[in-house]
Amino acid sequence: LSNTALNFSNFTAQDTTAPVSLFVAPVAQTTKEANTSIGVSINTTEVVNISVGYVNVTRPNISNIYRVNLTLGQLTGDRRNMSTSYLVQRTLGRYNLTFFVNDTSGNVLSTATLNFSNFTVADTVAPVILYRVPAPQSTAEINATLRASINLTEVVNVSVGYVNVSRSNISTIYRINLSLGQSAGDRRNMSGSYLIHRTPGRFNFTFFVNDTSGNIISSTTLNFTNITAQDTTAPTANKRGPAPQSSFEANASLVLSFNVTELSNLSTVYANITRPNISTVYRLNMSTLSKETPAERNQTGTYIIQRTTGKYNVTFYAADSGNNLLSSTTLNFTNFTVTDTAAPGIIARGPTPQSSKEINASLMVSWNLTEVVNISVAYVNITRPNISTVYRLNVTL
């Protein structure tokens, strides 16, 4: 064949066929957990090459659209797989996915039902406690403020958190509401303060947490803790009576008192009294007259002062139900001086006035009198008719 123009021809190969979606994942109408990673993929047919593939994700209550780029994977003939992973938001609700694919010829994936998918994000995972305070078997002072807190994981939001406190010898359960504090990812801290009652003993704490989906914290050992409330603080005297260096009459009734601060309960309160010229110490038991404040008590006792004049020393003692003894300070002590300023008082005498007696007869002269301490000397002066000198008659007790 001779070589002429009719020996030759040509044509241009082109790609005008758009990629076609065969399968997408996730499957429509499925449910996923919040804050989990899911696989997003599409299988397509494409006779040449894929240029770009991505997914637009619309999310509940979020206005901007999130783009997830797809990576080209396995090839089988004209079939292509493109996929990636997507971390589901912590926002519950419906998520819509729209797939887009372009080939290298500029053909765009045709719009069909297989271009779209959706899933619903739910939260079915209960919060989990990681750490709690106070530590189990710890001790704390009564009437002190205690911090109760927990660290927990929760992928969405905490709705409510609280602690139930059971207390020694108290039947009602006390509830402490917890406040949500610092968050880091899915970790939350919740805490509250509790003023420990004035009752020593064991206090049990049970933590409760609900999330906004109604999931309740699972029951584990980390939901519980306990403390032992103790009283190691001794009672303290604030003021006392009588004031030091005061004076009182012999045989008078005297009220001894002192104010004591004590966080729990007083077990024993008394005063030891040392008296002049008496070797034995007198113990005066005291009782609570009133409470000045929740922690301050007024202790009183009545003492009949001896008929012995001189200095009396008073030492106050108090012990609480935890066997803590009153600390020794100047307020534990006082003293007073007993004096006798009251003169003896005659209440009867003999002979009676205006009576008659025979001369040269023996006459009994006497009188009854009151005297709180001791008689030193007693006598009678007798004046006689026609005799100028006064006759002194000593009398005996």
Task: Pick the closest to residue 347 from 321, 326, 366 (CA basis).
Answer: 366
Residue pair 256/335 in contact by the 8 Å Cβ criterion: no
**pLDDT by 10s per residue, the chain, length 397:** 677 777 888 888 777 778 888 889 999 999 999 999 999 999 988 877 888 999 999 999 999 999 999 998 877 778 889 999 999 988 999 999 999 999 888 888 877 778 899 999 999 999 999 999 999 999 999 889 999 999 999 888 899 999 999 998 889 999 999 999 877 778 899 999 999 988 889 999 999 999 999 999 877 888 999 999 999 888 888 889 899 999 999 989 999 998 888 888 888 999 999 999 999 999 999 988 777 677 888 899 999 998 889 999 999 999 988 888 887 777 889 999 999 888 888 888 888 888 888 888 888 888 887 776 778 888 889 999 999 999 998 888 8
Residue pair 148/58 in contact by the 8 Å Cβ criterion: no
CB count within 10 Å of CB 254 equals 20
DSSP three-state, residue 110: coil
> What is the pTM assigned to this prediction?
0.70
Can you say how many angstroms the Cα of residue 179 is from the centroid of all Cα atoms in its chain?
14
Q: Which domains does the chain have, with CATH numbers?
A: 20-122 (2.60.40.650), 128-230 (2.60.40.650), 236-339 (2.60.40.650), 345-394 (no CATH)
